[in-house]
Amino acid sequence: MINQQQLWDDDAAQQYDTPGQGMFSPDVLGPTVEVLSELASGGPAVEFAIGTGRVAIPLLEAGVPVSGIELSHAMIARLREKVGEDQIPVVQGDMSEASIGGNFTLAFLVFNTIANLLTQDQQVRCFENASGHLAPGGRFVIELWVPQLRSLPPGHGGTVEVSEPGYLLVDTYDVLRQHVVSHHVRFGSELSDGREALIGRTPHRYIWPSELDLMARIAGFELESRWADWDRSEFTAESRSHVSVYRLIERP
C-alpha cells in the first residue's frame, strides 16, 4: 500500500499549485467558495485535507474564518508560505482522527479527497470526526467523483481517462476492494528536467453515493442536498461527480 505521507512529499507540494489554471482557475474556485460561504451561515469552517490552501485561502478572503486538518507536513509548509497560523490554524494529522476543536458551522472535504482513505472503516470514521467538529445543525460538504465502472470493458482492469499532449491518465481497478490506482504519465514539453517521462501513482477507495449516504447516517447526518457540481446543476444517472451536503441531525 502506498504511504500517503510519502505520496504528498515536498516535490508534490511544490508542484501542486497551478495558479489560475485547472482546479485553481476562477471558474472552478469561484462557485466553490460561493457555495461554501453560503453554507457556513456566518460561522467558522474547518477543511479536512486543507492541502496548500487552494479553497481555504479564498474562503478566508470571502470573510469565513477557516481552520484545517492536513496529513502532509510538506503541504502545510507550502500553505505557510502564503498565510500564517494566526490566519488559518492547522492541525497536522489524519483527517479521520485528528481534531482542531468544535462548534464549527461547516466542515468540508473537496476534490475527491475522502477517497484517499483506503478502507471503509476509515471513511466512516472521517464522517464521525466531522460530526465531532460541528455545532448542532452544522453541515458537512463532500465533493466526490462517481465511479465509472460502466466504462470498464469486460475482462480488462483499467481505463484511459485522459489522453492529451504531454499527459496520460490511466485508472486501474480492484473491484473487490473498491480500489482505484490513478497512473499519471507526463512527458515531452511537460517536463523541464531532462527526463523522458514522469509517472506518478495515486491510490483511492471509490465510494458510491448511496454508500456515502449510509456512512453519513451512521455518523448522525442526513442528506440535505446533492448537485452534479458547484453550480448546483441537477445530479443525474449520467453525472460523473457530485457535491453532497449533509446536515448534522439535531437531537431533542
Local confidence band at 152 (pLDDT 50, 70, 90 cut-offs): confident
DSSP assigned state of 234: B
Q: How many CB atoms lie within 10 A of CB 87?
A: 13
CA dist., res. 226 & res. 14, Å (int) = 33
Q: What is the pLDDT of residue 250?
A: 82
Task: Indicate whether 9 pLDDT > 80.
Answer: no
Q: What is the pLDDT of residue 24?
A: 84
Q: Is 93 left (phi over 0), alpha (psi -120 to 50) or beta?
A: left
What cell does 243 get? 457535491
* Range in 9-23, 27-41, 139-153 the model is least confident about: 9-23
Q: What is the mean pLDDT of the chain?
A: 91
| Cβ pair 205, 216 in contact under 8 A | no
Name the maximum alpha-carbon separation found in the chain. Answer: 64
* Range in 55-59, 70-74, 173-177, 199-203 the model is least confident about: 199-203
Instruction: Please identify which residue in the block is written with the cell numbers 462557485.
Output: 31
Q: What is the pLDDT of residue 1?
A: 44
Task: Indicate whether 168 pLDDT > 70.
Answer: yes
Q: What is the pLDDT of residue 193?
A: 60
Local confidence band at 74 (pLDDT 50, 70, 90 cut-offs): very high
Task: Indicate whether 143 pLDDT > 70.
Answer: yes
Of all helices (H) and strands (E), which one includes residue 191? none
- Nearest Cα to Cα of residue 171 among 154, 197, 152: 152
Residue 205's DSSP bridge partners are: 179
Share of the chain above pLDDT 70, in %: 90
Q: What is the pLDDT of residue 153?
A: 83
Task: Indicate whether 14 pLDDT > 80.
Answer: no
CA dist., res. 105 & res. 217, Å (int) = 18
| Cβ pair 166, 195 in contact under 8 A | no
Region 49-69: what's the mean pLDDT?
97
Residue with the bigger pLDDT between 165 and 207: it is 207
| Cβ pair 196, 187 in contact under 8 A | yes
Instruction: Please identify which residue in the block is written with the cell numbers 469561484.
Output: 30
Report pLDDT digits (tens) over 211-236. Answer: 999 999 999 999 999 999 999 999 99
Report pLDDT digits (tens) over 91-103. Answer: 999 999 999 999 9
Q: What is the pTM of this model?
A: 0.91
Task: Indicate whether 17 pLDDT > 80.
Answer: no
| Cβ pair 138, 247 in contact under 8 A | yes
